[in-house]
Structure 1
């Protein structure tokens, strides 16, 4: 039997009895199945998480980025505009696939929808500069090309810890090894946990990445809403002194940066700029802020000798960064429309 057209809204996740965020996606298998039928056209709607993340979606993302038959991609950041009663963090997208189309020659028509309006429409490639993710906002590509013209520029993701950097899960703060006071411990380490919990642990129990204990660091939550449809786009960073650790609630940046108290404070400020948070959003599609979602944020000189005057206010630092990377008024306005000042 020959199928000329395949149209559908496939199941998104396995019904494994768990929460949606932990369920395994299955829509990618329906996309592959549709292609295997060798139709002339395919039109499918699916979650947008495959753009930059998603459990087990790396191979599917690579396949989508190199599929020359994708003719159009409609992107909906706010999923409730398509499915009012569902909650698909990161939005949904609809693809039009044509066996007759070659996007290596003609590009892909990428349409961004918001509030029942088309806000951006562009003819472009699925892949940008050999990046391994799909850049959602077409307007962002020129900005990214100015900030990271080559892959040789150091970026923050190269200096960020993995999840659970010291081997402590989120519930560690409820165990008997987490102490409110340090005076009863022989070698206490300050420990930062969820819900703003701060306590102390015995140094001898830390056997995961103990080499990171004595460096200056900047902590920040693993989960944040940057790059999602939610309004809160803050990145609440704070400086971590030597002899401090954290649970899996936090990641930290500082590995191989040789930070001190001054440069750590400057790095913390940098991560709160609109500039840095915007670049973070380009590599992020859900609340999961893994190290790789910081891959578009260039490392700066955080010392007093820097070309950036870190003693200025965050808005002034943003203006310095815009000038450093040659962003024009339209690009600056786009960043400041997408990312609010820190609250």
Structure 2
């Protein structure tokens, strides 16, 4: 009876749901199975193995696990109904993220949204079965949820009547082990990725707070033998409250497999997720190097990696030796001449006046050029009378996705900035020169594939900042550098050159 689910679902409705999803990211069945393939397959022949999905949406993980268990336990429990009853009632558990997904998950697993009905393939005494949903409320303190950081202004009871609170049960408790009062061998899932935390005019306050890390950390508290989840890859570089999560994930040595999709559309065709996505296998009882696979379209590259080798995780295996060659020169990085974000203190919405006036300086914003009084500049005054290159703080790709030809531009808008010209929070500065020649040569350097390739290795979201230039070496800008000169300087092989050339979109290197 190995085709039990195949005959019950034809065509596979969960593939259709995954392709339609946009708000919540639903996992396609083929990706769920690739994650299950990482697990020791003997788990599916053990009647005592227990599985938990703490963030059920479509029920795809539990359904695909059920398929494997139905086959794997056939010799031990020959009767199909007895086998199904044992698997569904004693081995598979889930926590839905909404009431709707609880019904969808039960329908996927039990073939009925009510597992106590006559249509369910296994009968429970209640309407939830082993896929539970509770309408949890946030716990507020100083206007924020103490568990997930949600804004009371946005998700408080007074404004969320008849709407979802997005207070997910699994991460809104100090004792997740009490939810089912049992231990699990495998925890698997695709957790919610982020939640808008509100905020006023402050630029950083407007960014959504990541949630997926909370599901991973809460899962580890249960000490499963194995943990596998699919999550955004932007944690590779930390930031946004992810620094400690990143350090633990890369540093504890228990990540034994990871598959990374720099372009999320290679995994979720209908979704744009800045920085891509990855899934991993964490093993409680194993420690060592990680088998890391980078997948770009049809190209896949796997290598055994020390994940904590660099301060920022490098997602392309082929880039490791290139970075080693660059670092062997012991040169300063370009980050040493990169400003912090918002160098002059003007918000992204600042525009200035439309016309020039006495004692004014130019203000560059995402909408063009305006004019402000020099006295309005309260920070970054040391940049005002210098030459520098203005660089957009967002990458040149939508959601970090390459162009149709598979190449990355990396840098969006960037241009030389003469004295008496400044910028808003939409940009930052590179360089601080007294003469135009050096500045133009820096601008030409940023156009090289070499420099933009090394910058790309530190980027795991759509944002660029000072630390992302850590792998880009500082050059002597009394001359204009070409890619050919840089390849020769760092003794790159033809294979390494070809890899850079295949990834980075060309730009003319002609100074200005």
CA contact (8 A) 2:394 2:464 kept: yes
Partner of 1:233: 409
Among candidates 427, 440, 443, match of residue 250 of structure 1: 427
Among candidates 316, 325, 343, match of residue 490 of structure 2: 325
DSSP 3-state at the match of 1:165: coil
Among candidates 98, 102, 109, match of residue 291 of structure 2: 109
Distance 2:195 2:414 in 1: 35
Distance 1:153 1:36 in 2: 43
Distance 2:376 2:402 in 1: 38
Gaps of 5+ in 2: 1-181, 200-205
Residues 178-236 of structure 1: CA distance to partner in whole angstroms, max 9, x if unpaired?
A: 23332x32x121222213x1232211111112122111111111111369223251534
CA contact (8 A) 1:75 1:92 kept: yes
Distance 1:263 1:7 in 2: 53
- Name the CA shift for 1:148/1:259 in 2 (closer, same or farther; >3 Å): farther
Matches within 5 A, 1:105-254: 107-115=289-297, 117=298, 119-128=300-309, 131-149=310-328, 153-173=331-351, 178-182=352-356, 184-185=357-358, 187-195=359-367, 197-225=368-396, 228-231=400-403, 233=409, 235=411, 236-254=413-431
Among candidates 227, 237, 252, match of residue 67 of structure 1: 252
Residues 258-294 of structure 1: CA distance to partner in whole angstroms, max 9, x if unpaired?
A: 4411000000000011001001100101211111111
Q: How many angstroms does 1:299 deviate by?
A: 0.7
Structure 1 consecutive aligned stretches of length 4 or more whose deviation exceeds 4 Å: 15-18
Residues 54-74 of structure 1: CA distance to partner in whole angstroms, max 9, x if unpaired?
A: 511111111111021111001
Partner of 1:87: 272
Distance 2:198 2:410 in 1: 32
Instruction: Give the aligned CA root-mean-square deviation in angstroms.
Output: 2.0
CA contact (8 A) 1:73 1:95 kept: yes
Gaps of 5+ in 1: 305-309
DSSP 3-state at the match of 1:86: coil
Distance 2:415 2:196 in 1: 39
Among candidates 446, 449, 458, match of residue 274 of structure 1: 449
Q: How many angstroms does 1:295 deviate by?
A: 1.2
Q: TM-score, normalised by structure 1?
A: 0.86
- Name the CA shift for 1:14/1:171 in 2 (closer, same or farther; >3 Å): closer
DSSP 3-state at the match of 1:172: coil
Matched residue count: 315
Distance 1:340 1:211 in 2: 34
Distance 1:212 1:276 in 2: 23
